[in-house]
Structure 1
Amino acid sequence: MVVTKLAYTYIAKRRYWRFRRAGIDAALPGQPGEPEFHIKYAELLALSKSKPPEHDRASFRWLVERFEGSAEFKHLAASTQLDYSKTLRIIEDELGDEPFAITTRGMIKLVRDSMASTPRKAHKFIQTVSVLYGYAASEDLVPDGFNPAAKIKKLKAKVKPYIAWSEPEIALFLSKAAAHVITPVMLALYTGQRREDVVSMDWEDYQGTIIRVRQSKTGEPLEIACHPILRKHLAGRKTTFGGPIARAANGRPYTVNSLSQALRRACADIDGMPNRTMHGLRYAAAARLEAAGCTAGQCSSVLGHRTYQMAMKYMTQRRDSEAAIRKMGA
């Protein structure tokens, strides 16, 4: 008999099982009823019942533990908690036994500089250390304003631009790709949402004329009008068992990573199709909205201000280059 509810478990993003107790928040493999699930569950349950080690109350390790047990941390969205937790583990590894009340800016910069090859990781480290000091100040553990991570410059990263899909590329892909990859591409193209939000869309979110979305990045609920072409496609893909709309060839819901990999493989399998990304579909959606006469405000309300700006920068350059070539051929 499949167990549907076990103590200290919860479901993340409506499909991933996790265990949370006594400071432990870890993924569980598979589903209840499967052997590997219950083996891991038993290990985590036993670990959660063991007495945690005592940490020096002056150390970063103790501060991190206290922060993760705080109401402020628990009030954050599950995805935000997970994001913080990854960097908090790095802080424990790099600064765990250091006394946070006398740590200097130079010490923080040394750790940041050790991550120079991964600027994004370095920046998240600085951001999270600042959050820790903000929490410490609110608990009177350090004086107000004491934050050695403050004003440390962000390392510049080489930005790889996202390329908007062209209309010929869209037509080629939709005519050649398998249906299970076409569905998330259609969802992204006609709603303009991020891949994280595309894989989270459930059939219950689809109301025929609208699709309800709660953006993972902002937490904002949206109701996006469903284009007739998307409605027609979804009508042919509707399932009786519900759940996530976007599913792989094996019927399992896509994850963010598995969707990116599936799209990469699909592009590689189509002659004449360059490698394109899910984020490039957001730019393509922005271009279509702009071409349809939508105002900047209308576009930004769906896509976000920065995405619209970046998409228009790319599309303007492409239109100008096409106009220049036409003049040369005149």
Structure 2
Amino acid sequence: MTTSNNKKPPKPKVSRERLKWVWPKNGTDWVPYHRFTWSDSSGKRKEKAVRLQWEGDLRKLDEEYWAAEAGRHPSQVKPTKYTWRECIRLWRSDPKKAKKLKASTRNSYNREFEKILDKNGDKPMPSTSRQAVRRKHASLADTPRAADWMLQTVSLLWNYAKDTLDWPLGDNPAAKIEKFGAQKEFPSWPDWLLNELPNAPDKVHIAGELIRGTGQRPSAAVKTPCSAFEGEWVTVQDEKGGNTFQIYCPGRLRNLIANLPKGNAHVLAKSKTTALSYSAVEKEFRTWRATLTELANAHGDDVMKYSLHGLRKRACVELAEAGCSDSEIQAVTGQSLVTVAKYRKEANRKKLSQTAQTRRAE
């Protein structure tokens, strides 16, 4: 809608209760505004107008108008302040934090940060209630270590935002919530449970074979990229040390990987380019584990005490029972020699008891 000789063209034939057309001093087109009024605390009538970006498109004008009517127009919405996302961004960019923490601790916090960003990144921290944090902690009772890490991470970020960033926050909602505390060691999988692994859902079966075959921590094994496998070798990750190294890949695992569908970047794929999360696999594992209760009872066992972490221990025990030295076991699993020695003691006791009982029977 243009004109010459400073003559205004007719207004567009669109009317709404709070639509106001304005002719700018130096303009050539009518500009639409959404006008709304209100009364302040003294009763004085106030008015404000929101400019609608319609670009001559009546459909877009309609969308802009009704967004303004509902108070959702971009010019009406105030940016959310003091969000979890902003706090995490500032914490990660703080050079003091990077220097103080070990790489393994920083990686553990970053995993928890990603969970917060996924569900609550854009939510304001002041709206977080103690009841909500307590409920979340209780909902993670099946994974007590993860539950306590969640509490610790919420507390860390809250104290950082309040004490370092000077954000106007109240009391720490995670403070003084009782943690599950130190847990018993993860028991190694028994034979009867290991024999059921091929019958598990694909995600659980593949994750289990990755953990057992490489001796990695479950969270690292789940994220294994397809590119990690090169012939007879597989590149594994030491999450605590932040290092990667190659180990010999057992034939059982190589055959499993070779028969998986091609085209994904990760062995356990969420999409073409991203891996499944450990929590997604662990959740499916718990569902499968619950179906084995009767079988466990038949073996005089309790299936609920076994976890995916127990497969890593099983790998260590199997290596020890095969006569591997402590250094050889460490070369596969990346564990400390103290941990390796502990598992060797368990394996040796089992093997010696078999020899002793066999001799007694004879």
Bigger share in helix: 1
Change (3 A) 1:182 1:68: closer
**1: CA distance between counterparts of 2:176 and 2:244?**
39
Equivalences for residues 288-327 of structure 1 within 5 A? 288-303=318-333, 304-305=335-336, 306-319=338-351, 322=354, 326=358
Kept in 2, the 8 Å contact 1:164–1:311? The answer is: no
Equivalent residues of 1:213, 1:222 under 8 A apart: yes
Find the residue that maps to 2:203 and give its secondary structure: helix
* Residue-pair matches, total: 224
Deviation (angstroms), 1:324: 5.9
SS in structure 2 of the partner of residue 212 of structure 1: strand
Contact kept? 1:300, 1:308, Cα under 8 Å: yes
Contact in 1 for aligned 2:109/2:153 (Cα 8 Å): no
Tell me the amino acid that sits aligned with residue 310 of structure 2.
Answer: G
1:277 aligns with 2:307: yes
The one of 257, 263, 280 equivalent to 2:285 is 263
Distance change in 2, residues 1:264/1:329 (3 Å): farther
Q: Which residue of 2 aligns with 1:183?
A: 206
Matched AA of 1:280? G
Q: Which amino acid in 1 is paired with 2:217? A: R
Please state how far the C-alpha of 1:94 moved relative to its aligned partner.
6.2
How many Å separate the matches in 2 of 1:113 and 1:81?
A: 17
CA distance, structure 1, for counterparts of residue 108 and residue 196 of structure 2: 37
- Give runs of aligned pairs for residues 147-186 of structure 1, distance below 5 A: 157=182, 159-174=183-198, 176-186=199-209
Change (3 A) 1:313 1:246: farther
Q: Distance in 1 between matches of 2:94 and 2:327?
A: 38
Q: Give the alignment's TM-score, normalised by structure 1.
A: 0.54
Q: State the match for 1:33 in structure 2.
A: none
Q: Identity of counterpart residues, as a percentage?
A: 17
Q: Does 1:71 align with 2:108?
A: no
CA contact (8 A) 2:188 2:310 kept: yes
CA distance in 1, matches of 2:109, 2:192: 41
2:197·2:208 contact (CA, 8 Å) conserved in 1?
no
Aligned to 1:315, what secondary structure does the other structure show? helix
- Asked if 1:224 is matched to 2:247, the reply is yes
Deviations 1:140-172 (A, max 9, x none): xxxxxxxxxxxxxxxxx3x31211123443223
Q: 1:1-330 to 2 correspondence within 5 Å?
A: 68-73=92-97, 79-82=107-110, 87=152, 89-91=154-156, 93=158, 114=176, 117-118=178-179, 120=181, 157=182, 159-174=183-198, 176-237=199-260, 239-247=261-269, 253-270=275-292, 272-273=295-296, 274-275=303-304, 276-303=306-333, 304-305=335-336, 306-319=338-351, 322=354, 326=358, 329=361
The two structures have a TM-score, normalised by structure 2, of 0.50
- Which whole-Å CA distance do the structure 2 matches of 1:180 and 1:89 have between them? 30
Q: CA contact under 8 A between 2:232 and 2:249: conserved in structure 1?
A: yes
* Structure 1 position 92, deviation (Å): 6.0
1:259 corresponds to which letter in structure 2?
A: V
**Does the CA contact (< 8 Å) of 2:329 and 2:340 recur in 1?**
yes
Alpha-carbon separation, structure 2, partners of 1:95 and 1:204: 38
Deviation at residue 226 of structure 1 after TM alignment: 1.2
Structure 2 residue identity aligned to 1:79 = N
Q: Give unmatched runs, 5+ long, in structure 1.
A: 1-45, 54-63, 100-110, 121-156
Deviation at 1:267? 3.0
Q: Structure 2 vs 1, CA of residues 277 and 242 (structure 1 numbering), >3 Å: closer, same or farther?
A: same
